[in-house]
Chain A
Amino acid sequence: MIEQLLFYVFAILTCGGAIAVVATQNVVRMAFWLVVSLGSVAALFFLLHADFLGAAQLLIYVGGTVVLLVFGVMLTASGPYTTIKTSPAEGIIGAAVGVMLLMVLVSSIGNVDWIAISGRLPSSPESPSAADATRKAHAEESLVNSGSTKALSEFNANQQQGRTVRQLGLSFLGLRPDRNLKEGGANGLAPGYFLPFEIVSVHLLVVLIGAAYLARAKRRAVSEDRVSLD
């Protein structure tokens, strides 16, 4: 039950860090607690075998967003430690939004038919590795016996649980090998996410060019200044 123990540790760290971000008023400490909270979310992703998602969480949120946040605070702060004080009205509005979001989440989690979904899971969550081990032994045995690769490929499909990089990359290119293999037939082709991926890429490129343009505009203003001074 070590995985369960780790889950509780990281879940407590996630929630505790999030509460501490809200409760503290010092921006530096907020950043520190944000690191704790977001890093624990990444650890939860690793526990759920979502390696790529966990790495992306670390790179984008912990390594990117928090660094930019601290960087922005350092550039704009007037005093040594910026504190953020919230007025009671802001607290009430924030609490209301938070409670509404919580209700949405609770109701949507409550609406899921978990029993129907658990049938689709590859193995029981109680002892996944034990089940995996027996299944692997079984698969290897049948491979040696009959030379059939079906059981082994089934096992490999289950082993793909944490290995989502290739599937993610292919689905961004418009291919869904997992779905196509399962459904079979000509009409079972799934579209993948090529179009959204391209739209997001072009969007990011536009943002990049826009940022470069804004950075250039400042220099032009300086030169205009100099002209007016002359």
Chain B
Amino acid sequence: MHGFFAALTLEDFIARTISSLAKLPVESETLLLIAFLAAAFTHAGLLLGLFGGLPVFYIWLERKVAGRIQDRLGPTRVGGSFGWLQTIADGIKLIQKEDLVPKEADSLVFRMSPYLATIASFAAFMVLPICDGWIAVAAECGAFLILALMSLEVLGIILAGYSSGSKWALFGAMREAAQMVSYEIPMAICALIPLMIAGSLNFQVIGRMQSGGFWNWFILHDPFTFLAFFCYFTVATASVKRAPFDLAEAESELVAGFHTEYSGFRWSIFFLAEYSSMFAVSAVAALLFLGGWHDGLGIDSVLESLFRGTGTGLVDGFSLGSYVVNVFGAVVLITKACLLVFVQIWVRWTLPRLRIDQVMTTCLKYLVPISCFLFLAAVLWPLTLVTMFSRPVIAGPAIGERALSQSTASARDTSERLGAAR
């Protein structure tokens, strides 16, 4: 939006498009515009595909894992012996169903709230970096923004439950509201710990600081970040209302909770939002604690030194080698997030659901004090180290020095590239 688009007026764009259609031997500028738009739409489509495709995989995974844990096989027939296409078949079935709105429901809000939840869930994907430089909106306060956006999904759930005109749905929505209002506090405090260590809210900076071996990951920075990761993951599981914290849709008590009255497409996009939020919180955990797009074994640094900046002849400003490195980073990040989602699924099918008072007690009496203590201890840890050993970390260069060396390296690269271009 800030780059190419803003410089271009709408009339100019239309005129160019028409003229390009009128005479086939197009100017190079028009060709560039078409290439730019094609690239933009491709990457927007990829992001949307990630948002829509991952839930399809996760729902299949959920069925398979649940089956294995319960000593069953899970889906086996649709699409080969592993039931690969089970989710697609379910989706087609759901779209065919009637779109019901109960008589008691407030139809406008009832119809709109699934979209509210889905939009909030998708908006979180826009500020989520998939790799170094692969981010739709590179806001400097990205971590803050993603926490804000993920807290919006609850609004869709509450409005859905409240506008359904059903007691089950109302109870589900009330539980969800109470749960979310309390769990946002420890989630923000736990996320604050790695942010404080990095000294930045920018995911790009946070990811780059954890480059190199896995001992550079923030989870191994000090004992308190190690605990903070597990605290964050617990709270994140609760914040996407997964079992054992899925009180909003407790099937044994509330029929189906907030989505009791929903059917068909609207029901299914609630699940789209839920499963993509699972990926979003897991990816944030991977970015903040588990090294982001760095694999931690040194494979990416080898790839980086081999490929970064090679194959530049094709298009000006585009490097095929860097693209390959970025694809590898994206695969690493998505794999990490998928492993964390697998743990969430595993937990769901092995732990019983808590009661609502136990959920609130867990949060207010345990998780909030624990996260506050961890935050305080993580603040005091470098100070203690400095007083006792006169160095802020146990081993290796300090975070600030690492960040500085990274930034000077990138600056050197830029100046070298500029020199080469001249």
Contact = CB atoms under 8 A, between A and B. Distances in A.
A129 B152 contact: no
A8 interface: no
Contacts of A127: 6-7
Contacts of A55: 139, 141, 144-145, 148
B303 interface: no
Nearest to B3: A129
A80 B108 CA distance: 16
Nearest to B151: A63
Interface string A46-76: 0000011011101100111011101100110
A185 interface: no
Given A55-B144, A70-B177, A144-B415, A28 B6 contact: no
A62 B6 CA distance: 28
A64 B184 CA distance: 10
A91 interface: no
Interface string B172-201: 011001101100100000000000000001
B148 A32 contact: no
Contacts of B178: 71
Nearest to A75: B174
B109 A32 contact: yes
A29 B177 CA distance: 17
B363 interface: no
Interface string A18-43: 00000000101101100100000000
Interface string B2-13: 111111111000
B419 interface: yes
Contacts of B419: 144
B152 A70 contact: no
Majority SS at the chain A contact face: helix
A97 interface: no
A143 interface: yes
B108 A29 contact: yes
A59 B147 contact: yes
B264 interface: no
Nearest to A68: B181
B168 to A, nearest CB: 13
Contacts of B181: 67-68, 71
Contacts of B140: 51-52, 162-166
B106 interface: yes
A26 B107 CA distance: 12
A5 interface: yes
B141 A51 contact: yes
Size band of the interface chain B makes with A: 35 or more
B141 A165 contact: yes
A71 B158 contact: yes
Interface stretch (B159-167, B229-237, B354-362): B159-167
A28 B174 contact: no
A71 B177 contact: yes
Contact of B1 (A2, A28, A66, A166): A2
Nearest to A140: B418
A110 B76 CA distance: 71
Nearest to B123: A58
A52 B177 contact: no
Contacts of A59: 144, 147-148, 151
Nearest to A132: B2
A143 B418 contact: yes
B154 interface: yes
Residue in A35, A51, A63 with the greatest tally of chain B CB atoms within 10 Å: A63
Contact of A128 (B6, B144, B201): B6
A52 B4 CA distance: 24
A74 B201 contact: no
B159 A58 contact: no
Contact of B10 (A2, A56, A75): A2
Contacts of A80: 104, 165
Contacts of B170: 74
Nearest to B173: A74
A26 B177 CA distance: 20
B422 interface: yes
B116 interface: yes
A130 interface: yes
Nearest to B167: A80
Contacts of A68: 181
A52 B141 contact: yes
A129 B139 contact: no
Interface in B86-111: 104, 106, 108-109
A129 B6 contact: yes
Interface in A57-103: 58-59, 62-64, 66-68, 70-71, 74-75, 80-81
State the 8 A-B residue pairs at the shortest beta-carbon distance, nearest first: A59-B148, A63-B151, A130-B7, A58-B148, A55-B145, A129-B6, A163-B140, A71-B177
9 contacts: A2-B1, A28-B163, A51-B141, A55-B148, A59-B147, A64-B151, A68-B181, A74-B177, A163-B140
Interface of B: 1-10, 104, 106, 108-109, 112-113, 116, 139-141, 144-145, 147-149, 151-152, 154-155, 158-159, 162-163, 165, 170, 173-174, 177-178, 180-181, 184, 201, 415, 418-419, 422
Given A2-B1, A28-B162, 10 more contacts: A59-B151, A67-B154, A67-B181, A71-B178, A74-B173, A74-B177, A129-B4, A130-B6, A130-B7, A166-B140
Interface of A: 1-3, 5, 26, 28-29, 31-32, 35, 51-52, 54-56, 58-59, 62-64, 66-68, 70-71, 74-75, 80-81, 127-130, 133, 140, 143-144, 162-166
